[in-house]
Amino acid sequence: MELGTSCFQSDLDFCPECGTILPLPGIQDKVTCVRCSFSIDVRDFEGKVVQSCVEFNRLGSVPLMIVDDGQEVKGPTIDRKCPQCGHEGMVYHTRQMRSADEGQTVFYTCGRCKFQEKEDS
């Protein structure tokens, strides 16, 4: 490899030295990689169009978890009293339902009566 050549070949979205995603150009004259401090002249970004798309699930399009009476509930168990039947011990699982900077949602299922509830943390 020659001196002065880059390790990576990529779009201007990534640092050509370390491969890290570059920050968006701002009012500074250069765009600087936060990892290795490699700099690119902001004029290299002229005419570049950035597009993004966010797709949301339609309300009701994600099926709820339904547990049949004959099916055993599996998963880690926590000392939590079922509000429906009073059984001590509920199985739980977590999901990231909101943005990444907010807590996970915990879903609890009673091992006896299969009652389900959720808790946003």
Known binding-site residues for Zn(2+) equal 15, 18, 33, 36, 82, 85, 110, 113
Q: What is the CA radius of gyration of the chain?
A: 25
In the block, tokens 């609890």 appear at 108
Phi-psi category of residue 14: left, alpha or beta, with phi > 0 → left and psi -120 to 50 → alpha: beta
Candidates 42, 114, 102, 32; CA nearest to 72 is: 114
Give the distance between the most distant pair of CA atoms in the chain: 72
Binding site: residue ranges? 15, 18, 33, 36, 82, 85, 110, 113
- Do residues 90 and 108 make contact, with C-beta atoms less than 8 angstroms apart? yes
